[in-house]
Chains A and B, each alone.
Chain A
Amino acid sequence: MSARAQAATAARSEPAALAADPILTVEHLTMRFGGLLAIDDLSFSAERGQITAVIGPNGAGKTTVFNCLTGFYKPTEGMITMRHADGASFLLERMDDFRIARSARVARTFQNIRLFPGMTVLENLLVAQHNTLMRASGYTLAGIFGLAVYRKAERKAVERARYWLDKTGLLERADDPASDLPYGAQRRLEIIRAMCSQPLLLCLDEPAAGLNPAESDELNRLLRDIRDHHDTSLLLIEHDMSVVMGISDFIVVLDYGEKISSGSPHFVRNDPKVIAAYLGIDDEDAGTGGAP
Chain B
Amino acid sequence: MEYFVQQLINGLTLGSIYGLIAIGYTMVYGIIGMINFAHGDIFMIGAFVALIALIAIGLTAGAGLVIVILALLLALLIAMALTAIYGWTVERFAYRPLRTSFRLAPLITAIGMSIVLQNFVQVTQGARVKPLQPIVTGGYEIMRTTTEHGEFIVLVSNIQILIILTTVLLMAVFALIIARTPLGRAQRACEQDRTMAALLGINVDRTISLTFVIGAALASVAGLMYLLYYGVIDFFIGFVAGIKAFTAAVLGGIGSLPGAMLGGLIIGLIETFWSAYFTIEYKDVAAFSILVVVLIFMPSGLLGRPEVEKV
Which residues of A line the B interface, CB within 8 A? 70-72, 96-98, 100-102, 107-108, 110, 112, 114, 116-119, 123, 126-128, 130-131, 133-134, 137, 139-140, 143-144, 193-194, 197
Q: Which of B176, B177, B193, B198 has most A Cβ within 10 Å?
A: B198
A101 touches B182 (CB 8 A): no
B185 touches A123 (CB 8 A): yes
B201 touches A119 (CB 8 A): no
A235 CA to B186 CA, complexed, in Å:
27
Nearest CB on B from A212, distance (A): 23
Residue of B nearest to A109 (CB): B199
Q: Is B111 an interface residue (CB 8 A)?
A: no
A70 CA to B188 CA, complexed, in Å:
22
Nearest CB on A from B115, distance (A): 33
> With a CB–CB cut-off of 8 A, which chain A residues contact B182?
126, 130, 133-134, 137, 140, 143
Residue of A nearest to B176 (CB): A144
A18 CA to B186 CA, complexed, in Å:
41
Nearest CB on A from B99, distance (A): 14
Residue of A nearest to B203 (CB): A98
Q: Is B289 an interface residue (CB 8 A)?
A: no
B183 touches A140 (CB 8 A): yes
A128 touches B181 (CB 8 A): no
B196 touches A143 (CB 8 A): no
A98 touches B186 (CB 8 A): no
B186 touches A116 (CB 8 A): no
Nearest CB on A from B210, distance (A): 8
A119 touches B181 (CB 8 A): no
A130 touches B181 (CB 8 A): no
What are 24 A-B contacts defined by CB distance under 8 Å? A70-B199, A71-B198, A97-B198, A101-B198, A101-B201, A107-B199, A114-B193, A116-B188, A116-B189, A116-B192, A118-B188, A127-B185, A127-B197, A127-B202, A130-B182, A130-B186, A130-B189, A131-B201, A133-B182, A137-B183, A140-B181, A143-B180, A144-B177, A144-B181
> With a CB–CB cut-off of 8 A, which chain B residues contact A102?
201, 203
> With a CB–CB cut-off of 8 A, which chain A residues contact B195?
72, 97, 114
A101 CA to B186 CA, complexed, in Å:
15
> With a CB–CB cut-off of 8 A, which chain A residues contact B204?
98
B173 touches A193 (CB 8 A): no
Nearest CB on A from B162, distance (A): 22
A107 touches B181 (CB 8 A): no
Q: Is B65 an interface residue (CB 8 A)?
A: no
A194 CA to B199 CA, complexed, in Å:
9
A140 touches B200 (CB 8 A): no
Which residues of B line the A interface, CB within 8 A? 173, 176-177, 180-183, 185-186, 188-189, 192-193, 195-204, 311
Return the contact of B186 from the options A71, A96, A97, A134 (Cβ within 8 A): A134
Return the contact of A116 from the options B176, B181, B193 (Cβ within 8 A): B193
> With a CB–CB cut-off of 8 A, which chain B residues contact A137?
181-183
B188 touches A108 (CB 8 A): no
Nearest CB on A from B148, distance (A): 53
Residue of A nearest to B173 (CB): A144
A130 touches B200 (CB 8 A): yes
A137 CA to B181 CA, complexed, in Å:
8
A204 CA to B212 CA, complexed, in Å:
35
Nearest CB on A from B303, distance (A): 14
A134 touches B183 (CB 8 A): yes
Whether A128 contacts B186 in the complex (CB less than 8 A), given A116-B193, A143-B177, A143-B181, comes out as: no
Top 8 A-B pairs, shortest CB-CB distance: A143-B181, A101-B201, A102-B201, A133-B182, A97-B198, A98-B198, A140-B183, A134-B182
> With a CB–CB cut-off of 8 A, which chain B residues contact A101?
198-201
Residue of B nearest to A178 (CB): B192
> With a CB–CB cut-off of 8 A, which chain B residues contact A70?
199
> With a CB–CB cut-off of 8 A, which chain A residues contact B196?
110, 114, 116
B201 touches A130 (CB 8 A): yes
Nearest CB on B from A111, distance (A): 11
A117 touches B201 (CB 8 A): no
A112 touches B186 (CB 8 A): no
Residue of B nearest to A133 (CB): B182
Q: Which of B186, B196, B201 has most A Cβ within 10 Å?
A: B201
Q: Which of A97, A110, A126, A197 has most B Cβ within 10 Å?
A: A97
Nearest CB on A from B64, distance (A): 29
> With a CB–CB cut-off of 8 A, which chain A residues contact B203?
98, 102
Q: Which of B173, B195, B196, B204 has most A Cβ within 10 Å?
A: B196
B185 touches A193 (CB 8 A): no
> With a CB–CB cut-off of 8 A, which chain B residues contact A97?
195, 198-199
Residue of B nearest to A118 (CB): B192
A102 CA to B185 CA, complexed, in Å:
17
Return the contact of B202 from the options A98, A110, A139, A140 (Cβ within 8 A): A98
Residue of A nearest to B174 (CB): A144
A117 CA to B204 CA, complexed, in Å:
18
Nearest CB on A from B219, distance (A): 19
Return the contact of B200 from the options A117, A123, A193 (Cβ within 8 A): A193
A180 CA to B162 CA, complexed, in Å:
43
